[in-house]
Structure 1
Amino acid sequence: MIFRQIQNNNISCKQMQLCNTLRRLWMEHVMWTRSFILSTAFDSGDLDAVTKRLLQNPVDFAKAMNPYYGPKVA
């Protein structure tokens, strides 16, 4: 008989955490980019706060990537 080797296609808890973190970061990026566009288009009073929060996103991405790529690359 020929037995097929069973493959483990499961992902680890750390991999799932990374997926969830990246999903959240991209969702926030989309949300704050949309808010920035709307605030700019309608000359809202919250433009400074929205801009500040939008520019925080690259910092958040760097923090998430730091354990994998190190501070210089992240």
Structure 2
Amino acid sequence: MDLETLLRKHADRLLNLPNVVGVGQGEKNGQPVIKVFVTHKVPLSALEEEEVIPLDIEGVEVDVEETGIIGAEE
């Protein structure tokens, strides 16, 4: 399965996790990754098991990036 298809398959679930403001495709160390953008990172101990962003999805690494709140400028 290509990265775009994989991302579409899992985007809704990822976007419903706490603090997640976006998902996309990226690259890390020359390898494709699923990017998950969060307002801020929190310790695993502060999350319920079902709220944790996975380390990988179907064998593709997930890279979490803290972005702050994303919104349109007025």
Give the strand-richer structure, 1 or 2: 2
Give the TM-score of the pair, scaled to structure 2.
0.29
Give the TM-score of the pair, scaled to structure 1.
0.29
Give the helix-richer structure, 1 or 2: 1
Q: Computing the radius of gyration over CA atoms, which structure comes out larger, 1 or 2?
A: 1
